[in-house]
Each structure stands twice: as C-alpha cells, then as structure tokens.
Structure 1
C-alpha cells in the first residue's frame, strides 16, 4: 500500500514532463502606473500634515512613499514596470497634488521626506522597476513667470485653488536654472525619468531637461506642441481611445506608429470610467477591454492608479480618491492573467503589425515575428462576431491556439483559405499560430495512469477493510 501511494505521488509530480515549459522574458514596452502620492495609501500616519477624511475637500489624505513601497508587489503583478509619481517636492500644506511648490531642493515631509523617497526608489529598483517623477512648472523665487499658460478646465480649477504662477520655459535663464535643478534631483535620488504636464506651446525639452534621463511630455490640450521629449501623449488619440472603449460598436483607433505614449486618462483629465457610466455600460468590462487594447500596444502605455477598481469623476478633487485595493478584484485578476500571458511572449512587441479588420468596435491585428505569429482579436461590439483570418503560406498545417480564453481553431475550422474565428461580445482573444497537433497524448496517458492507479488504490483499500 505504501509503495502504491509513493508511486502515485511521483506520477502526479511528473505530469508536467509531457508539455514544454514557456519561459517568460522581459519585453521592451513600458507599462507605466501613474500615482498621485497623497491619494494612494497612508503607510505612516506620523508624517500626516493638514490631513482630512472628507473626500469632497481638496486637502491631503495622508498618502506617502511608504504606502506605495508597501504595495509594489500589487502594482508589479499587474504587469507595470514603471511608476510615474506626482510631484514630490516641498509644497504648500493645503495642497494635495504637489504642484504648489515652495522649494525644489527639498522632498515633501508629508510624503515621508528624502529618506522615504530614496527607500521607495531603491525598493522599486530591486524589483527591476523604474521611477518617473512629474516635474512641476510652478514658479518660485528667481524664475521669470509665464503670462498665458494653456490649461484645460480641470487644470484651471485646480490652479485657481492653489493660486500658482508658472515658469516660462522659453526664457534662456529659466532654462539653465531649471535644468540644473532637475539634474541635481535626478543624480541625488537616482530617478529614472521625468515627466511634465505641458502648459506652454512650442517647448523643446532638450533646452531645460537634463541629459541621460527618460522624458515624457503629457499634452492635455490639442493646440499645444512640444518636442525634445522621448515620448509624448496625443490628446486626439486619448479622446479616440476613451470614445471607443467607454461603450461598444465604436471604431477602435489603430495603434500609432510614432511611439506615442498611450493612455485613457491622467490626473488632469476626467476619469475613463465616468464615460462608461454615462453610457450605461458595465465599468468592469469596459476597463478589461481597454486594458487588453493597451497591453497589445508595442509602445509605452500609462494607466492611472485606481482605474482597475473603477474610480470615476470629472472634476477636482473627485477624480483623485484614496486608493482602494480591495474592490473589483475580478478586473485586477483579469489584468494579472493578461500580463502573465503576454510576459511569456515578448517577441510580440518587436513584431511587424498587419491590420486585418477594424470595423465598428471589431479590431483584429496580426503580429508577424521571426518565431511565432499572433492574432489579437478584440470584439468590442454588442454581438458575437466572426472574422476570417487569411492564411499565409507559412500557416499551412498550423492552428490558432487561444492564450486568453483558450479557443482552438484547427484546420477544420476553415472557410476557404481563412481561419474562421468566432468571439463573444465584449471579449478579447490572443491567438498564437502554432503547428497543428492532435490531442496531447502525454496528458491522456498521465490521466489514465492517475485515475487507473487511484482505482487500484481504492480497490486495495476496500479489500483490506473487508478482510
């Protein structure tokens, strides 16, 4: 009896031998998780300054660096490899966003100060993550100010509350001073990147941002232009993404080819979720579809904290609630599983892309790689959709293996020279085009041995009890 139990345990442990293991490798696309430091989590209430519990007040909630550091695992598990933090500099006590800067040479005490900031950066680096900090353009003593900043309604509402002035970053003296300040900040704390909300037209980041650090230009107004940043956002693209995924049956924008930074919202825009709510759509499904689209992009994306738990709102301070890690777990689980699949196939992000279909919310794209080709099928419509995926010469004798839902399309699922893929409404599938195979004989044999062995085990136990 003892020998039989040992035999079964070894058999169970060896089942995995019959199928090859997939090795996960890091892709090059950056997945950025943007965080309002004060509105994430309060990890140390000893540094609370002017904190309120009234969600309707535009005052600090007590979020700090340690609150973020304690939850890096949560952020990384969803596939984010970069943190983009709101400003971390010494600010006015009644300001929660951090743009009412009082001293660029000090780290905000209410966030934990310099020591906690460095601890967060070190902890992120130990995990292979990078840290980007948003640089304010708030004028302090010594800077020439800008007379006519370009602000959207949400920015205007916020800056009216803090009564801030702006640095003119086309002024040569301002550029020299700002660049030196940013250089010192980056070198002191080993920051990986700097972002900036653009409020002035015609900026050239190379004239005021330090060399050797990644730079991101966040453009909120479609009338503004900026150059010299490594990556910039496109307001028109953001609006198209929001329009497409806040409801169904709406054309999905094709992925850009200029390496734009894709996002659906940022901290000076309305929340993505409010658009879904206003369209009477289920937020969880809308967020899942949005995430699948963003994660299929071979460039960098930004995803605002709390989107995964359906934060809503369209004005300050309602768009910046305190983070809640324990709601809408279903969406978080979906994002985690999506990341697990895509992290095993980094070649997808270096692929040549071919658009197969883009019609009223049905978006199908092929990724050509030197190894395995992939098909991304996003059905963001209100009905079940089918699509013919043209076979290429190298597809002969191959099948489509679904990596997200698990659909399998064999040669029998063909119509002419096309694979016929059928996908339910508001679902996304990623297919790998692989050599066609029959049933997994290894698993069949293992199953027969396991259940056969278990039957023998029960029979022997029954005989023993009978005796």
Structure 2
C-alpha cells in the first residue's frame, strides 16, 4: 500500500505539481554503520577461522570487497558516509574487531591494506566519506584502565575476548594514541573517526587528531562525551528507539547542536528488537524512524540491516549476517524518502519551528529563502489533524505532499491555517507552494489511461459477439 502511495505521489509530481527545486544533494551526514565481518564476503580466499554456525561469536567472512561491491546499494538509500567497525589486526576468534593485536596493521581477513584502500577510493568516487571506529582495547605499549564503564552487551562481548582497555586519561597514552590515529588517517585518507566510549571524564581532543571529523557514542548514561565533533549520548539513543518502536510515545525534539542521532549501535539492542517486543510491524516503524532521521538538520547513523529489519538483543545475535534481498519493499521506501529529501537540501539550511509535539504526533516547519516545508509525522494509533498557521502569503498557497501525495489548499481553509489530516502511523513532508489548478499534462495522462482502457474493453466485446452467435 505504501509503495502504491509513493508511486501516486511521483505521478502527481511529474504531471501535476511543478516548482523549482535545488539540484544539490543533502549537506547533512548520513552514516551507514557496518560490522565488516557481518556484511558481505567478496573474497573467500581471505577467510580465517570462519564458521557457518550463526549463533556463535566467530567470524562469518565479511570483508572490504563485499562492502565495496555494494556501495551503490548503500548510496541509493541516501547514505553519504560509511562507519566501519575496527579494521586493525585482531585475534582470529574475534569477529567484531576490538580484540586488537596491532594498531599499525590492517586485518588480513578483511582483505588487508590494498582492499581497504580500494574501498576508500571507491567510496570517495561516489562522494561518500569513510569513518572508522577506533578501539580503546589494550595493545602493547599502553597503560591499562582500571574501571571501564560497560553496558550488558559490552560486558558479554569484552568478556569473550578477555579485553583490557587503554586509560585515555593518561598523558603518555594520549600522545601515543593520537600519533597512531594521525598516521592511520593520513596513510589511508580517512574522513572521520568514531569511538564507543567506555571511560568517563576524558576529552577526545587530547587523543584523537584534529584534522578529521570525530564521533563519540555512549553506551551508558554515566559516560560524558567531551571533545567530539558529534556526540550520540546514550539517553537520547534510548529515547529515540523507545519513542519510535510503538505508536503514542513521545518523539524526541531535534537537537540543534550537531548531536549524532541514532536509534541503535553495535553495543545496544537492535531497534527492530524493541519494535517486535512492542508487538508492532517493523516495516512501518522503520519507515517512520527513517523519515524522522532524514529530516534532521544534523548527522544521523543507521545500522546495517535495519532496512531489512535485522533483530537481536545480545551478542552475537545483535550482529546478524546481512541479507541484501530480504525486504526490498522497505529498501524501496527508504530510497523514496531519500529521493524527496535529496531534491530539497534547503531543509537542512534554514530555521525551524516545532508546531506540535504531543504523544507521537510531531509537526515542524522549515523556513528557507526559497520554499518552506512542513514535516508531519503521525506516530500515533489514530488519525490526527493539526493546524499549520499561515505565514505571510500562505493563504494563496498550498501544502504539496511529497511522500504520499497529500494536497491541502490554503484558499479552502479557515482560521488562517492549513488543516493537515494524516492517518495513523503515516508521515508526510509538505512543500508550501503557490496554488495551481489541475495540470493539463495530468489530464492528458488520465484521458490516455482511461481512454485506452475503454478501447480495450470495446475491442474485447466486439471480438466476443460473433462467437456468441454460433
């Protein structure tokens, strides 16, 4: 049904409602996070200690080649950055990459340095950044941290690899770690570094280089994220996952400070898990979450496999193997949301105003120098309406829905406001444009369709008449 609505909206846009749009792509960072071993194998020749047992925490054989061969798939959904799990030389029985043996070497089971550089070059050719997650696990030459702060999933994983951690408050450790990270980013032309922080009271500027964008992710409320260019605090991640996993729950307000928005990460339960626990249909909830994320004026992260509703709440099931052909309909819906937002990068550049945020109904207006927009997310269990107050000459304009094709004319309204009505668990992004009548092209297309159908019926009836006389 949603796919049909998308096609109808596209038809209206093509033949009915036309207005100028910007041609540039979105300027905000959309990150697709990938556990390298669990995405796709492109070269069986580099498999080391690989298993077919999906319930075990051993490697599955994913590698850089497997990611590179699917970059277009990722880009078509609207992602302009990859965030890779650690890529350094690691223990052979570790699939996630934090059991580091040597920071200066690229893991051969992932394809080694040449395949890594090939992936980076291929991503850059497509205008995509490459971000690598940095472990803080102990390797030779560092002083150990006494008391790491770990959530339950981290405790299970790090317990399996018997990990110790680098004390990043130690000045000697900071200097050594920053030099290592600087050499790594310089050698491979890395665009960003991320870290899932397990220590409170540290400043990323003291141990990460300044010439790349940095992202900090917290798995516990007791961890602060200082010095990162973009931070994803644990409480906001949990609120986002909770809010969109079921209707009638509060939608978090958009941050305005460059916060990294994500609904799950490598050391949290999957967003889909919370949806299933709430006895909801994953596709609908993921669609609404995606619309919310793609309309945010800051960076977002979307974990691999969310587009096919991968589930899990513990190690290693939370990192299931990717299957690119599981749920193409949901992938198409995400691509359609991306297509709309890509065509309107003004959304990410102007001021905003929240019109309504109540029990899952979130409405926000975007003010731009060109066309204003209204985001309407009805994450409730009932049909909702909202009045969008007129601004300036809005009375002579209309709300043109670009996701499901909703049309609302200002001249038909009272109370100096557009009345937007949306069914339960649906989302719409409106452009506020000048009112137009029925477009001639749309009329012609309708006449051709119905006229052609009428001729077809007449020919079939004519062919049957002689047979009926026999």
- TM-score, normalised to structure 1, is 0.91
Gaps of at least 5 residues in structure 1 are: 1-14, 460-467
Q: Does 1:278 align with 2:277?
A: yes
Q: For residue 77 of structure 1, report the CA deviation from its aligned partner.
A: 0.3
Supply the distance in 1 between the matched residues of 2:448 and 2:267 (Cα, whole angstroms): 60
The change in CA–CA distance for 1:274 and 1:80 in structure 2 (over 3 A counts) is: same
SS state of the match for residue 258, structure 1?
Answer: coil
76-85 or 215-224, which deviates more: 215-224
Conserved in 2, the CA contact under 8 Å of 1:18 and 1:442?
A: no
Q: Does 1:193 align with 2:186?
A: no
Q: Does 1:328 align with 2:327?
A: yes
Supply the distance in 2 between the matched residues of 1:141 and 1:295 (Cα, whole angstroms): 42
Q: For residue 380 of structure 1, report the CA deviation from its aligned partner.
A: 0.6
SS state of the match for residue 28, structure 2?
Answer: coil
Conserved in 1, the CA contact under 8 Å of 2:214 and 2:229?
A: yes
Conserved in 1, the CA contact under 8 Å of 2:394 and 2:410?
A: no
Give the equivalent residue in structure 2 for 1:387: 386
Give the equivalent residue in structure 2 for 1:145: 144
Q: Does 1:62 align with 2:68?
A: no
Conserved in 1, the CA contact under 8 Å of 2:297 and 2:347?
A: yes
Supply the distance in 2 between the matched residues of 1:69 and 1:95 (Cα, whole angstroms): 22
SS state of the match for residue 319, structure 1?
Answer: helix
Give the equivalent residue in structure 1 for 2:414: 415
Give the equivalent residue in structure 2 for 1:8: none
Give the equivalent residue in structure 2 for 1:465: none
Computed over aligned residues only, the root mean square deviation of the Cα atoms, in angstroms, reads: 2.2
The count of aligned residue pairs is 445
Supply the distance in 2 between the matched residues of 1:333 and 1:452 (Cα, whole angstroms): 31
The change in CA–CA distance for 1:452 and 1:383 in structure 2 (over 3 A counts) is: closer
Give the equivalent residue in structure 1 for 2:103: 104
The change in CA–CA distance for 1:138 and 1:359 in structure 2 (over 3 A counts) is: same
The change in CA–CA distance for 1:193 and 1:412 in structure 2 (over 3 A counts) is: same
The change in CA–CA distance for 1:58 and 1:455 in structure 2 (over 3 A counts) is: closer
Q: For residue 441 of structure 1, report the CA deviation from its aligned partner.
A: 2.6
The change in CA–CA distance for 1:83 and 1:372 in structure 2 (over 3 A counts) is: same
Conserved in 2, the CA contact under 8 Å of 1:18 and 1:443?
A: no
- TM-score, normalised to structure 2, is 0.91
Give the equivalent residue in structure 1 for 2:6: none
Could you list the runs of 4 or more consecutive aligned residues of structure 1 that deviate by over 4 angstroms after TM superposition? 15-23, 445-456
Supply the distance in 2 between the matched residues of 1:430 and 1:204 (Cα, whole angstroms): 39
Q: For residue 438 of structure 1, report the CA deviation from its aligned partner.
A: 0.7
Deviations 1:151-203 (A, max 9, x none): 11100100000011111111111111111111110111111100011011111
Q: For residue 396 of structure 1, report the CA deviation from its aligned partner.
A: 2.7
Q: Does 1:122 align with 2:121?
A: yes
Deviations 1:189-233 (A, max 9, x none): 111100011011111111111121111111111111131110010
Q: For residue 24 of structure 1, report the CA deviation from its aligned partner.
A: 2.9
